[in-house]
Amino acid sequence: MIISLAHKKALVGGSSQGLGFAVAQQLAASGASVTLMARKEQKLQAALAALDTKNGQQHQYLVVDFADFDSYKKIIDDFFLSNQVDILVNNTNGPSAGTVLEKKADDYFNAFNMLFQTVQYTTAAAIGSMKAKRFGRIINLTSRTVKEPVDNLALSNTIRAAVVAWGKTLSRDVGKFNITVNNLLTGNFDTERLTELFTAQAQAQQTTLEAIKQKSVEEIPLQRLGKPEELANMVAFLASGEAAYVTGTSIPVDGGLLKSI
């Protein structure tokens, strides 16, 4: 099967590094024109330069801060005044680690804005043109923790579960327009973000980063961390016409780490 996204336009959140960047690279390699989104312009410029242009794609980027919802809304509104997208990959940076007992009301409010409100707002802005063209792909990168909460990730566990439920509900409303909505439940991938989380766990448990990493790998049936491009391949498939009958799903991409069905 050859995945072709020629003449498609994609908007990818959190795409200057890590999983988001791998997704942007794969979508571009499949022929799509990609708009990157992240906080740091220097990293965005480097990421932009690394995207494939062999099919004459025109890539661009938006400097956004997912943690500043008011400014984020303005940037998204301005973007969609003159742009349309066929593929929307909702992906944000994660909130700070911590337990339920440590987090306060403001922490949950801010995490809700960053993880949920930005996703809902961007999707609402993108979906009008998708309905008109009767084609759209909305892919939410969430986490396997929505099924099996992880200690010390209270904010992520809670708010990402809301994104998954929202995505399922949305899929039932937009299917008649040939728009699919799917959630990817990511496991442990070899990224900077995972190193940050492992470091926080090591500090909380008064152990070493290497000990946390080794324990994590031992719990994964495939006995290794995921490669970002392995997630990107799944996104490219879901974004394509070949996945036209896949919607409303929550697909773990975790090397078998989830124990639940």
From the list 194, 192, 201, the residue with the least C-alpha distance to 98 is 201
Domain boundaries, the chain: 9-189+226-253
pLDDT tens profile 56-74? 999 999 999 999 999 999 9
Q: What is the pLDDT of residue 35?
A: 98
CATH number corresponding to 9-189+226-253: 3.40.50.720
Q: What is the mean pLDDT of the chain?
A: 96
Distance of CA 194 to the CA centre of its chain: 14
Confirm if 12 and 47 have CB atoms less than 8 A apart.
no
CA–CA gap between residue 114 and residue 90 (Å, rounded): 11
From the list 11, 33, 31, the residue with the least C-alpha distance to 90 is 11
The answer on pLDDT for 247 being more than 90 is yes
Q: What is the pLDDT of residue 201?
A: 82
Q: What value does the mean pLDDT take over residues 87-109? A: 94
Q: Which structure tokens are listed for 190?
A: 């070899």
Q: What is the pLDDT of residue 194?
A: 86
pTM over 0.75: yes
pLDDT tens profile 178-223? 999 999 999 999 998 888 888 888 888 899 999 999 999 999 999 9
CA–CA gap between residue 216 and residue 179 (Å, rounded): 36
Q: What is the pLDDT of residue 93?
A: 87
β-strands 179-186, 250-253: how paired? parallel
Q: What value does the mean pLDDT take over residues 102-113? A: 97
Angle between helices 118-133 and 154-174 (to 10 degrees): 20
Burial class (CB in 10 A: 0-12, 13-18, 19+), 115: buried
Distance of CA 228 to the CA centre of its chain: 12
Strand 250-253: give its sheet, edge to edge.
Answer: 60-63, 33-38, 9-12, 87-90, 136-143, 179-186, 250-253
The answer on pLDDT for 245 being more than 90 is yes
Distance of CA 33 to the CA centre of its chain: 18
Q: What is the pLDDT of residue 143?
A: 95
